[in-house]
Structure 1
Amino acid sequence: KRCVEESAMLPTLVRLADFMLTEALVGMGQNNMNALMSLFAASTEDPKSKGVFVTTVAFAHDLTTFTPNADVMMKALDVSVTQGVVAAVGSVPRLVHNRAFAPLFEQTPDGEP
């Protein structure tokens, strides 16, 4: 009887483990983004800092240009860093989709897993 009761709790345990792993991955992504933001903040607060990016400044008669400009840098940060972290976290295989656990989540005739 106890074996049947515990086996009925397996899907819940697998879901809990899946949620915990996913939450840990999201936390790691947030920590990495916070570390990147603190790197940017430190580079603006520290007078000895050399900065984070290399920028070319060109002077013309009535014009000063920065290459790459702020829009290009922000787009690169958004696409390569932010979207990369989101894609990495989203691409991790989930336990609930694992083939070994599939029988635990199959629907029974009464609609219960």
Structure 2
Amino acid sequence: MEKSWYYAIIFSGLLTAGVGHALAETPKSAEPARSPARVEKTVDKGGAVNGEKVSINQASASELAKVLNGVGLRKAEAIVSYRKQYGPFTAIEQLSEVPGIGEALLKRNLANLKL
């Protein structure tokens, strides 16, 4: 029985020494693991594709939600509802009249918007 314990201790010591040795052998110049390729958002009619702007007068709620930062489906639906009720937007700044769309949200997304 004592020999079993002795061999178990020796075996576990060898295993941990091997792991330490393997970690020490990792080259310092190795590149970090890369994450999978980023999937770019693609949006149809009126939506932003590869840096293009999304039209607040033509895009659907789902397109607006995909493209605009901080705009989920509910806020996007509010934009479309406002557009249906009051007609097309005449200025991008008019978007701040939509409930739930504040000045900060508008400023954050100005680069992604067009009429």
With structure 1 as the length reference, what TM-score do the two structures score? 0.24
Relative contact order, CA 8 A, sep 6+: which one is greater? 1
Query: Whose radius of gyration is greater, 1 or 2?
Result: 2
